[in-house]
Chains A and B, each alone.
Chain A
Amino acid sequence: MTFFLQLVVTGLAQGMVYALIAIGFVIILKCSEVFNIAQGHFVLIGGYLGYTFLVTFGLPVWAALGMAIATAIVMGLIIERLILRPLLGEPVLAVIMATIALATILGGLATLLWGGEYRPYHGLLPIISLKIGAVSLPSESLIGLIVSVICVALLMLLFRYTKIGLAMRATAEDLQVVQSLGIRATTVYAVSWIIACVVAVIGGILLGGVSGAHIELANIGIKTFAVVLLGGVNSIGGAIVAGIILGMLENVAAGYLDPLLPGGGLAQVFPFIVMIIVLIFRPYGLFGLARIERI
C-alpha cells in the first residue's frame, strides 16, 4: 500500500509539471488555433533563465523573477511577430512545422548559451517537504500544485472579466466577427503568446529551483501532448486534471509493470500509448469541445 501511495504521490509531482506546460499550450490554442510544439522548450528556457538571473547575476528572488518575466514578454513578442504572424491563415502543417522549427531553434539556443548541461540552483526557492505516514510528499508537487492553481485562477478571471480576455475567447470562436467589431486580432495573438511564454518561464524557474535546469525539461514537453489531448485541447481546467491523471497513471503503470518487462522504461512510452487510445476513442478529450464538420 505504501508503495502504491508513493507511486501516486510521485505521479502527482510529475502530473503538475505536465499541467504547467499544458496550460500554456492550451492558451495559445484557445486564442489562435496554433498547436505550439515548442511549449516544452519555453519551459526549458525559463529554467535556464532562472539559473542565469539567480546564480550568474546573483539577483534576489523577486528581482530574478521580474527579470525572467520581462524576458519572457520580449520572447513572446518576438516569436509572435517574426514567426507566427507571417504564417497567419496558412495550413495547419505549415504552422506546426514552424513551431517545431522554433523548438529546435530554442533547443539550439539553450545548448549554445548554457551548454545544455545540468544547472542546479537549489536553496534559492523555499523547499517545502511534507511527510504523511511513510509517504513523503516531494516539494515539486506542492509548488507545482500551488502555482498551477494560482495560474488557472488568474487565467479564469482574465478570460471571464477583462476586455482582452473576452477578446481572446472571441478570436478563438470567430476571427471575422472579431475583426468586424474593431478588435485587433494581431494584438490578441501577441498577448496570448506573451501569456504562454510567461506561464512557461515561471513554471521553468519553479522546476529548475527544485530539480535544476536541464535539457530534459524540453523532452517532457513532447509527452505533454498526451495530457493536452486527454484533457481536451481547449480546456484549461482539463489540462490540469489530465496532467494529474496521466502523471499518476504513468508512475503506477511503470511501478507495477516495469519489473515484468525485460527492458523497462514504460514511463517513457506510456503517455504515447494513452495518446493513441484517446485519439482513437475520444479525439476531443475529456473536457474538450467536439468539432462537427460541415461542408
Chain B
Amino acid sequence: MGLDSGTFHENYAQDMAIFPTRLHWGSLFVFLIILFSCPLFASDRILTLLTMMGIAVISVHGLNILTGFCDQISIGHAGFMAVGGYTSAILSAKLGVPFWAALPCSALAAGIVGLLFGLPSLKIKGFYLIMATIAAHFIIIWTIIQLRGITGGPDGLAVPSPAIGGLRLSSKTNYFYLVMIIACFATLVAKNIVRTRAGRAFIAIRDNDLAAEVMGISLWTYKLQAFFIGCVYAGVAGALLIHYFSFASTDQFPFFDSVWYLGMLIVGGMGSTTGAIFGAVALRLLDELVTMVGPVLSAAVAPQAAASLALMSHGVIIIIFLIFEPRGLYHRWEMIKSYFRLWPFSHQE
C-alpha cells in the first residue's frame, strides 16, 4: 500500500494501523456520516437497495475469509445463510425468542453446520471441495424442506418483525440502521481477523498448505476455524435477510446466489476486505440495473428477455473480470489512487 510522500512510520503500531493518516480517518468519517444520513434524503427504493447491499457485504466478508484468505472455495454460501436465517426464524416465530438473542444463535448454528461441511476440506481441495460445498447447499435446502413441522417446508414460515427492547425495527429506516451498524462492525472484525495469528495462518494455508503444515500450522484447526468464521458471517446475513422480509422461504436462498457471492468476491478482489465491499456493491448495482432495463428489453424484444438478461449479465461480468481484471475492482481502485498520488510524475506499473 502506497502512502503520500512525507508520511513516515516510526514504530510498529503506526505501521500496522488500518488508517495510518488523518486523511484516512477523515475520509472514513465523511463516508460514515454520508452513509448514516442516507435515510434523510434517500427514497425507499434506494434504502432497500442499500440494506440489501449491507446484507450482501456481511455475507461476502465471511466468504472472503473462507475463500479469499484461506483458499477453501465454497459454493454453498447461500445454504449456510439459509441455516442462519431459518434458525433465527424458528427461534423467533415458534419460541418467541427476542431478536437480539436469536441473531447470535443463528450465527452459531450456521457456524456449526459450516464446521460439519468443512470436515471434507481436511482431505480434499480445489475442485473436489467445490463439489462438496455444492452438495452442502443442496443437502441443507433439502433438509429444511424435509423438516416441515418446524420450518414450514415449501410453504415458508412467517416471522414476527424484529424489535430490540421497545424499539421496533420494522420500518425501512430503522432496519437500514440495524443492517449498517452490523455491517460496519462485521467489516471491522473481518479486517482485524486477518491480522491475528489465525488470519496469518489462513494466508499461509492459502499460499501453500503443505508448506504451512510443515511450519507447524495445524491444518485441522485453521481450516475448520476458517469454515466456522465464514459460516458465522453467512448465518448473520441470512438472519438479517429473513427478518427484513418477515418471511422465511427456501426460495430466498437459491443455488445461484451461492455462485453470485463468489462472483462478488471475484469482481471485488479476492483476499481484500475492501474488495469484498466493492464486489457486493457492484453486483447489487448490476442487479438493480438489470431489474430496471429488463422490463424495457422484454417489451422491445421478447417477453423472456428480462430473465435471460439477468442470467447472462452476471455470467458475462464474471468472465470479463476473470479475463481482464482477475485481481478485481480493489486492484483497479488502488491503481487509480496511486495514479493521483504520483501525478504528475506517475509511471504506471
Known pairs A97-B322, A295-B211; A279 contacts B124 (CB<8 A): yes
Q: Does B21 contact A (CB under 8 A)?
A: no
Q: If the complex has contacts A96-B130, A229-B128, are A273 and B304 also in contact, measured as CB distance less than 8 A? A: no
Contact among B131, B153, B256, B309 for A229, CB-based, below 8 A: B131
Q: How far is the CA of A260 from the CA of B319 in the complex (A)?
A: 44
From B134, B315, B316, A225 is in contact (CB under 8 Å) with: B134
- Bitwise, A91-125 to B at CB < 8 A (1) or not (0) is 01110111011111101110110011000000000
Taking the complex as formed, is A133 at the interface, i.e. its CB lies under 8 A from any CB of chain B?
no
Interface 9-residue window, one of A82-90, A146-154, A169-177, A182-190 = A82-90
Task: Pick from A92, A108, A262, A269: contact of B138, CB below 8 A.
Answer: A269
Whether A263 lies near B308 (C-beta < 8 A) is: no
Task: Identify which of residues 26-54 in chain B touch chain A, using a CB-to-CB cut-off of 8 Å.
Answer: none
Q: Does B266 contact A (CB under 8 A)?
A: yes
Closest chain A residue to B117, Cβ basis: A276
Do the beta carbons of A111 and B322 come within 8 Å of each other?
no
Partner of A272, one of B130, B135, B312: B135
Say whether B96 faces chain A, with CB atoms less than 8 Å apart: no
CB pair B319 A83 closer than 8 Å: yes
B21 to chain A, nearest CB (A): 34
State the interface size on chain A (CB cutoff 8 A): 44
* A275 contacts B by Cβ under 8 Å: yes
Min CB distance, B292 to chain A, in Å? 18
**If A101-B314, A108-B308 touch, does A87 touch B322 (CB 8 Å cutoff)?**
yes
When distances are taken between beta carbons in the complex, the residues of chain B under 8 Å from A265 are 142, 145
Task: Assess whether A108 is in contact with B312, with CB atoms less than 8 Å apart.
Answer: yes
Q: Are A112 and B308 closer than 8 Å at their CB atoms?
A: yes
Find the residue from B131, B211, B263, B303 having the highest chain A CB count within 10 A: B131
- Give every chain A residue within 8 A of B146 (Cβ-Cβ): 261-263
Instruction: Check if A97 sits within 8 Å of B318, measured CB to CB.
Output: yes
Closest to A38 in B: B315
| In the bound complex, CA of A220 to CA of B268 (Å) | 31
Query: Which of chain B's residues have a CB closer than 8 A to the CB of A293?
Result: 210
Question: Nearest Cβ distance between residue A38 and chain B, in whole angstroms?
Answer: 10
Indicate which residue in A105, A111, A116, A295 contacts B315 across the interface (CB closer than 8 Å).
A105
| Complexed CA–CA distance, A94 and B75 (Å) | 13
Taking a contact as CB atoms under 8 Å apart, the answer to whether A112 and B316 are in contact is no
- Bound complex: CA A145 to CA B314 (Å): 37
B262 contacts partner chain A, Cβ-Cβ < 8 Å: yes
A17 to chain B, nearest CB (A): 18
Give, as a whole number of angstroms, the nearest-CB distance from A193 to chain B.
Answer: 15
Nearest CB on A from B70, distance (A): 12
Looking at the complex, which one of A90, A97, A104 makes contact with B312 (CB distance below 8 Å)? A104
A-B contact count (CB 8 A): 139
Q: In the complex the two chains form, is B312's CB within 8 Å of A105's CB?
A: yes
Residues on B with beta carbons closer than 8 Å to the beta carbon of A295: 210-211, 214
Range, interface on chain B: 35 or more
Across the interface, do A112 and B318 meet the contact criterion of CB distance under 8 Å?
A: no
Closest partner residue, chain B, to A225 (CB atom): B131
Of the candidates B126, B266, B312, the one having the most CB atoms from chain A within 10 angstroms of its own CB is B312
CA distance A115 to B304 in the complex (A): 6
Query: Which one of A102, A112, A283 lies within 8 Å of B304 (CB-CB)?
Result: A112
Min Cβ gap B151→A in Å is: 10
- Give the Cβ gap from A239 to chain B, nearest Cβ, in Å: 15
Are A94 and B138 in contact, CB atoms less than 8 angstroms apart? no
A276 to B134, CA, bound (A): 10
User: In the complex, A273→B138 CA distance in Å?
Assistant: 9
B186 within 8 A of A: no
Known: A101-B315, A273-B135. A92 touches B123 (CB 8 A): no
Q: Is A290 interfacial (CB 8 A cutoff)?
A: no
Complex Cα distance, B73 from A97, in Å, reads: 11
Answer yes or no: B160 CB below 8 A from chain A CBs. Answer: no
Most chain A beta carbons < 10 A, residue from B145, B146, B308: B308
CA distance A161 to B315 in the complex (A): 38
17 CB contacts below 8 A, A to B, read: A83-B319, A90-B322, A92-B127, A93-B73, A93-B130, A97-B263, A100-B75, A101-B263, A101-B314, A101-B318, A105-B315, A108-B308, A108-B309, A116-B304, A263-B153, A279-B123, A279-B135
**3 nearest A-B pairs in the assembled complex, by CB-CB distance:** A108-B311, A108-B312, A112-B308
Beyond A90-B322, A272-B138, 7 extra complex contacts between A and B, CB < 8 Å: A93-B73, A93-B262, A101-B263, A101-B315, A261-B146, A268-B138, A295-B210
